[in-house]
Amino acid sequence: MAQHERCYGRFQQVLELEHYLEVLERKPGALAGSTPLKQWRERGRWPAEYDRYWEVLIRRHGKQPGTRQMIELLGLGKKHGHDRVREAVCLALASGCGDVAAVRYLLTAGGSVPPPLESGELGELARYERPLPVVQDYDQLLSREVTL
């Protein structure tokens, strides 16, 4: 059952964005101009980090798939809580991740973020260096005619 904030004014609507996520998954282009999103922004439920992450998703995946991922991210708020989702989005932005799977991982990892990778000396990797193959012999095969 859906619960809404009570509206005491006449001819006004109080819309909950989470109730429209299923519909918005099918029509992701409607999210940007939707009334529930506008109301979330006005009530302070849509932090600036969400806009930045949405831009990252669109740049990485394209407008429609990126918006779909943003809608999926909003759905994670039902399960994990909006404060935890916001924290995970901030961590994902800080680490340069541009995928909702990264946020999902950060939510389920139990708050443990892996330590940053240490850089190593390239000299240690020199033992794996191999000479490039010579392909000139294959060019001779291209010049011959094949007879059957």
In this structure, what DSSP letter does residue 118 have?
A: P
The pLDDT-based confidence of 121 (bands split at 50, 70, 90) is confident
pLDDT in the model for residue 137: 81
Residue 83 lies in a domain: yes
Residue 146 lies in a domain: no
pLDDT in the model for residue 25: 85
Tokens coding 100: 């909702």
At residue 129, the 3 state secondary structure works out as coil
The pTM (predicted TM-score) of the whole model is 0.65
pLDDT digits (tens, 9 = 90+) for 22-50: 888 888 888 888 888 888 888 888 999 99
The pLDDT-based confidence of 5 (bands split at 50, 70, 90) is low
> Across residues 101-123, what is the average pLDDT?
76
Looking at the structure of the chain, the number of domains it has is: 1
Residue 130 lies in a domain: no
Q: How many CA atoms lie within 13 A of 102 on its CB side?
A: 20
> Across residues 8-25, what is the average pLDDT?
74
Provide the domain limits for residue 23.
1-112
Residue 147 lies in a domain: no
Residue 8 lies in a domain: yes
Residue 126 lies in a domain: no
Residue 136 lies in a domain: no
Residue 31 burial (CB < 10 Å; 0-12/13-18/19+)? buried
pLDDT digits (tens, 9 = 90+) for 127-139: 888 898 888 888 7
Residue 13 lies in a domain: yes
Is residue 64 within a helix (H) or strand (E), and if so which, with residue range? helix 63-80
